[in-house]
């Protein structure tokens, strides 16, 4: 679930063409050995104060200012420093704000007002987007300012370049991004610290609140896709153009970041199979109920016996006994299966003013305490990515009534080595789409794609067949 955040504009910073600075710039950025012991990058602020410049004065930016104001005394006791917001950069300075500016804080409309202010220690980027935001992040880091961001799209798109830039900078210049994945759930920090002695075998989760809200409405409240999307839009969970959410692309960006942290691999987003929820119908939820479960849009990454990793974003059938089946509404959840900790589940608010701001605050406080993360994306590895995976699959086929349908389906499945476990068919009610469902045995995703293509070409098949993986091998109840 993405948020409507006020974007900053005006006085545009010149485009940064590369993340690799010149030799002269690199020499300027590298501090002496004595300064590298400081907790923050170059700044002229006093040692007992950390100053912030916030890019974006909308939903999340306002939440950050409020939390810092409300807990100022506590944060000073915790870190030994005062945390002060010096400037907030917005597009329209005349627009009323829903938060009170701290004393001494000013509203500005130029990126340079923060980027070129040597008294500002930390740049907080909550403006969104991948163009101007990239300029802001690169400019801040290059000027010796630590960065706190909630921008998963930017990180997923430019992670290798950001990593290259960070490798040229002094370790005191930090990059923090807890809020970029699942809002208020502290999954980034956990992946950076709690699994370092472990081996992660599987990550699966509900990592987009908009679609989980919609699927809950379709399942629990028996609403159609269009009705569920309309309600999500009215409540602010879906944007005017919900494509990134309902198409699964928002979840894919988050999954890519988690895969880097878990497996040390950089995978192009387009290589990760991505299917959203737009093809789901009420019939799919009826069949899921018959089977004893429900449907969730999940991001899944799994290591196979050969040590290779596969990943996908797709609607998945999950049984009612599965922990993820009961995560409803706009809530997010991530399960991590690993050798040492076995199963770890993180559940919480994946977006919203205060959940997202809270994660940004945690990063800011960590910087004020002097915490350092030399490799914010964890060490890289040569783990191989494979764009294929094994699963049990649910197939839904809409049809025009004629003789020999099941025989032809069986022949197509046999041709591609797909074994049919069971066939489901509800009595066709008036005005209801004629469709039956098939549960396969465990099979390659690539084989299912071939089956779907061949079935779609048959004369009785109405429209594009629908398929989705089953999350667990032990799905039968």
Question: Which residues, 6 or more positions from 473, have their beta carbon under 8 angstroms from its beta carbon?
Answer: 392, 442
> 119-128: per-residue pLDDT in tens?
999 999 999 9
- 0.85 exceeded by pTM: yes
Quote the pLDDT of residue 428.
57
What is the pLDDT at residue 25? 38
DSSP string, 288-356: HHHHTEEEEEEEEEEE-TTS-EEEEEEEEEEETTSGGGG--TTEEEEEEEETTTEEEEEEEE-SSHHHH
- Return the pLDDT at 40: 56
> Starting at the edge strand that comes first in sequence, how are the strands of the sheet with 342-349 ordered?
273-274, 309-319, 293-303, 200-206, 331-338, 342-349
Asked about 223 being catalytic, the answer comes back as: no
Q: What is the pLDDT of residue 31?
A: 36
Low-confidence ranges of the chain (pLDDT < 70): 1-46, 427-432, 477
pLDDT digits (tens, 9 = 90+) for 43-91: 555 689 999 999 999 999 999 999 999 999 999 999 999 999 999 999 9
pLDDT in the model for residue 432? 56
pLDDT confidence of residue 2: 35
At residue 314, the pLDDT reads 98
Percent of residues in the chain assigned helix, strand, coil, to nearest 5: 35, 20, 45
> Per the residue annotation, which of 254, 256, 296, 303 is the catalytic one?
254
Quick one: 157 exposed, middle or buried, by C-beta within 10 A (0-12, 13-18, 19+)? middle
State residue 45's pLDDT score. 58
- The percentage of the chain sitting over the pLDDT mark of 90, rounded to a whole number, equals 83
> If you write DSSP's letter for every residue of 429-448 in order, what string do you get?
-TT---EEEEEE-SEEHHHH
DSSP alpha helix (H) spans, 370-444: 405-415
- Give per-residue pLDDT as tens, 8-40: 333 333 333 333 443 333 333 433 333 333 455
């Amino acid at each position: 679930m993405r948020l409507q955040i006020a974007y900053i504009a005006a006085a545009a910073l010149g485009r940064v063409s590369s993340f690799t600075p010149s030799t002269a710039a690199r020499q300027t950025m590298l501090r002496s050995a004595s300064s590298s012991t400081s907790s923050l990058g170059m700044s002229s602020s006093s040692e007992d104060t950390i100053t912030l410049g916030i890019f974006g004065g909308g939903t999340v930016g306002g939440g950050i200012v409020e939390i810092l104001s409300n807990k100022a005394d506590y944060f000073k006791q915790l870190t030994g420093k005062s945390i002060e917001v010096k400037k907030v950069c917005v597009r329209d300075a005349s627009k009323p704000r829903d938060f009170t500016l701290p004393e001494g804080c000013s509203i500005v409309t130029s990126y340079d007002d923060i980027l070129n202010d040597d008294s500002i220690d930390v740049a907080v980027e909550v403006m969104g987007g991948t163009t101007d935001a990239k300029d802001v992040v690169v400019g801040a880091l290059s000027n010796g300012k630590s960065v706190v961001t909630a921008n998963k799209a930017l990180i997923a798109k430019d992670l290798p370049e950001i990593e290259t830039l960070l490798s040229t900078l002094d370790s005191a210049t930090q990059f923090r991004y807890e809020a970029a994945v699942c809002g208020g759930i502290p999954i980034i920090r956990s992946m950076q610290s709690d699994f370092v002695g472990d081996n992660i075998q599987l990550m699966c989760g509900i990592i987009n609140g908009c679609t989980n809200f919609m699927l809950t409405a379709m399942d629990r409240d028996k609403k159609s896709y269009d009705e569920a999307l309309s309600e999500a839009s009215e409540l602010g969970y879906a944007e005017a153009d919900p494509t990134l959410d309902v198409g699964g692309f928002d979840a894919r960006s988050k999954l890519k970041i988690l895969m880097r942290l878990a497996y040390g691999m950089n995978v192009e987003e387009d290589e990760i199979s991505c299917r959203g929820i737009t093809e789901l119908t009420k019939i799919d939820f009826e069949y899921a109920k018959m089977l004893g479960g429900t449907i969730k849009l999940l991001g899944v990454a799994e290591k196979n016996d050969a040590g290779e990793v596969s990943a996908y974003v797709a609607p998945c059938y999950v049984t009612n006994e599965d922990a993820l089946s009961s995560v409803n509404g706009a809530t997010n959840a991530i399960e991590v299966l690993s050798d040492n900790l076995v199963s770890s589940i993180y559940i919480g608010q994946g977006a919203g003013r205060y959940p997202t701001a809270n994660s940004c605050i945690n990063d800011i406080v960590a910087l004020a305490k002097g915490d350092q993360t030399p490799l914010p994306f964890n060490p890289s590895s040569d783990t191989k990515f494979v764009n294929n995976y094994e699963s049990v699959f649910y197939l839904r086929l809409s049809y025009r009534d004629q003789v020999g349908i099941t025989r032809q389906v069986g022949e197509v499945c046999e041709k591609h080595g797909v074994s049919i476990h069971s066939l489901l068919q509800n009595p066709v009610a008036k005005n209801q789409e004629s469709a039956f469902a098939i549960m396969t045995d465990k099979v390659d995703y690539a084989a299912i794609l071939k089956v779907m293509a061949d079935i779609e070409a048959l004369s009785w098949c109405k429209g594009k067949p629908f398929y989705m993986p089953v999350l667990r091998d032990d799905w039968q109840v």
